[in-house]
Amino acid sequence: MKKLIVLLSLLFTIASGASFTEDLNTANDLYKQKKQKEAKEYYIKASKNNSAQAHFKLAYQYVVDKETAIYHYSKAAKLGHSKALFYTLEELFFRANDLLLSDPKKALEVYNIAKNNNSEITFYDEKDSIRILKMAAEVPLFRAEEFIKQYQLEKDEDFKNDGYYIWKLAEKASRGEIFKNSNPELVLQLIIKGAFVPAEVKSAVSDYYDIWKNNKELVEFDICNYVTSTYGMSLCAKRQEEAENNKIEKELSLLLKDINLNNSDLLYSAYKNTSKYLDTKVWYEEGHDGSGYAQWATSSLLNQKNEYIKFIRKIANGFVPIVKASLSENDKILNKRYKKIKERLKKTPVRGMRMSIMEKDFIKVQRSWIDYRDINVELYTSISKQKDKKFWENYITSQRIKDYNLLEDTINIFN
């Protein structure tokens, strides 16, 4: 009896293969001739006869909605198509990022059928990926349509425009905000639904799965503990900047009281011009590059702002820096170096993966520096025991020369 079933199965497979082969070949030929519309008709015919390749092509080669893509990838995967399985798992879980269509239970079901039909299917990090998928599939189904309707989420302007929108909902749920009866299960469901980057969701699901299993209390979920994508790093850099700027604003208020400065507008005007200059220098001159460029640039900016506040406090407490050479000497050096760097950037601009340093950028930074220099000469003279404005102009000029050293190093590295 067993042999008969295997034989019948084999005969059915051979017959199916024969029935779609001609249509699939015709479709491929038409597609190569750039007759996509005509080819699609034959791919559809072949897919109806269980052609895994036809199902895959319909999802991979044509612009279709997400639901249609999942349908064809799933069909192809169940028939043993290796690439289709990978894309099915991505669309249903690892990159789903969809309250309605994310479905780890279905993804696991497709995986098991695909492996049963083609035991040779494998993909990168399969063991760990399926371990996380099984965790996610264990979580009760999420009533997405009711949830969206109850909290009128579609009215949010970021509902379809923010890649981390669902994870932001998870953050709010973990803090007991907005949603009725927030609990670890809701947080984990939202983390699963908001899967955006595989490495991120693996780590987040693993962590919160343990909380869901072992803890009835809410534990705060923070996106920035998991992000690895450039977009995620930019988001977290912005958050960091906002938080640090709030701290700096408070520090400025305290500083104003401590240094006994009669003209409070001078301090705030100096900080405003300094912030503008530092921001321009960080983004247009320092050359932060790579996948984490936004985070590195933001960290540099915040560090320099904090150092500026500390420096004001130091000189108000009697510190006077040592400056080598006179103002006339340093000013000559500055002008000579400025012309040299400007000429170099004009001939050969610096271009990285995510940044560039152009002649116009350098000029923009320098103009911003002049405003920064002039206002801070006024501030330092007002709060320091050193009352010579030329001294402070010389000091700030000497610091700008140090910036030129770093900039030339960057230009040499890239060029």
Angle formed by the axes of helices 359-383 and 389-414, nearest 10°: 150
Task: Name the residue type at position 30.
Answer: L
pLDDT at 202 over 80: yes
What stretches of 61-174 show up as alpha helix (H) in DSSP?
Answer: 66-78, 82-89, 104-117, 126-138, 144-150, 165-174
Of 185-189, 260-264, 308-312, 362-366, where does mean pLDDT reach its minimum?
260-264
H or E segment to which residue 357 belongs: strand 356-357
Angle formed by the axes of helices 198-214 and 126-138, nearest 10°: 40
Residues 32, 235: Cα–Cα separation, whole Å: 42
Straight-line distance from the first to the last Cα atom of the chain, in angstroms, rounded to the nearest whole number: 74
Average pLDDT over residues 90-117: 97
Average pLDDT over residues 409-415: 87
Asked if residues 47 and 36 have their Cβ atoms less than 8 Å apart, the reply is no
Residues 77, 83: Cα–Cα separation, whole Å: 8
**Cβ neighbourhood burial of 197 (10 Å; 0-12, 13-18, 19+):** buried
Higher pLDDT, 91 or 141: 91
In whole angstroms, what separates CA 145 from the centre of its chain? 28
Residues 349, 389: Cα–Cα separation, whole Å: 36
The total number of residues written for the chain in this structure: 415
Residues 109, 100: Cα–Cα separation, whole Å: 18
Residues 368, 273: Cα–Cα separation, whole Å: 8
pLDDT at 3 over 50: no
Question: Percentage of the chain with pLDDT > 70?
Answer: 96
pLDDT of 414: 82
Residues 188, 136: Cα–Cα separation, whole Å: 8
pLDDT at 7 over 90: no
Residues 365, 283: Cα–Cα separation, whole Å: 10
pLDDT at 75 over 90: yes
Asked if residues 326 and 390 have their Cβ atoms less than 8 Å apart, the reply is no
Residues 209, 188: Cα–Cα separation, whole Å: 7
pLDDT in tens, 317-369: 999 999 989 999 999 999 999 999 999 999 999 998 888 999 999 999 999 99
pLDDT in tens, 158-172: 998 899 999 999 999
Of 69-78, 209-218, 337-346, where does mean pLDDT reach its minimum?
209-218
Average pLDDT over residues 135-140: 97
pLDDT of 295: 83
pLDDT of 256: 85
Residues 140, 295: Cα–Cα separation, whole Å: 36
pLDDT of 229: 83
Question: Percentage of the chain with pLDDT > 90?
Answer: 76
Higher pLDDT, 13 or 292: 292
